[in-house]
């Protein structure tokens, strides 16, 4: 059985993929996580969107993440559910898919690069590149 999560705020929204990434809080520990949520109804109402293909792609992501040992530069998978239910404030149940991941406090590097839209100074680029190489080296060892 899954944990009880409280959604705290939206981190980012990807309309093309029809899922939102929100900050979720574990109701027991109060620790915050990133939660990718997609309403099944939204996906089923889209032309040229294959829900089963999306679940297959998400299953691939989860399959790779769930067996990884911990590393400071790799986001950890906490929980996932392809048959989740979200209850709205008006007590209406919505069928959802969700993946709960460790929260990267600084946000998504990809979003940051495109928000800044100027790239990084060399010193900052070197810092992130070193973290990336460190994680890749760990994965290949």
State the CB neighbour count (10 A cutoff) for residue 58. 19
Conformation bin of residue 69: beta by default, left when phi > 0, alpha when psi is -120 to 50: beta
Percent of residues, the chain, with pLDDT higher than 70: 76
- Determine the pLDDT at residue 90: 92
- Determine the pLDDT at residue 47: 65
Distance from C-alpha of 71 to C-alpha of 134, rounded to nearest angstrom: 9
135 pLDDT more than 90: yes
Across the chain, mean pLDDT equals 79
pLDDT classification of 10: cutoffs 50, 70, 90: very low
Least confident segment among 47-51, 86-90, 129-133, 135-139: 47-51
Q: Where in the chain are the domains?
A: 5-107, 117-141
| The architecture CATH gives domain 5-107 | 2-Layer Sandwich (3.30)
């Amino acid at each position: 059985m899954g944990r009880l999560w409280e959604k705290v705020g939206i981190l980012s929204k990807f309309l093309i993929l029809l899922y939102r990434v929100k900050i979720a809080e574990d109701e027991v520990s109060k620790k915050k996580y990133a939660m990718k949520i997609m309403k099944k109804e939204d996906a089923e109402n889209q032309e040229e969107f294959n829900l089963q293909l999306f679940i297959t792609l998400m299953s691939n992501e989860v399959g790779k993440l769930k067996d990884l040992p911990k590393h400071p530069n790799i986001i950890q998978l906490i929980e996932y559910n392809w048959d989740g239910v979200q209850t709205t404030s008006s007590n209406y149940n919505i069928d959802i898919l969700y993946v709960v991941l460790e929260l990267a406090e600084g946000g998504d590097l990809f979003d940051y690069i495109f928000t800044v839209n100027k790239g990084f100074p060399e010193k900052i680029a070197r810092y992130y590149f070193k973290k990336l190489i460190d994680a890749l080296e760990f994965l290949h060892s």
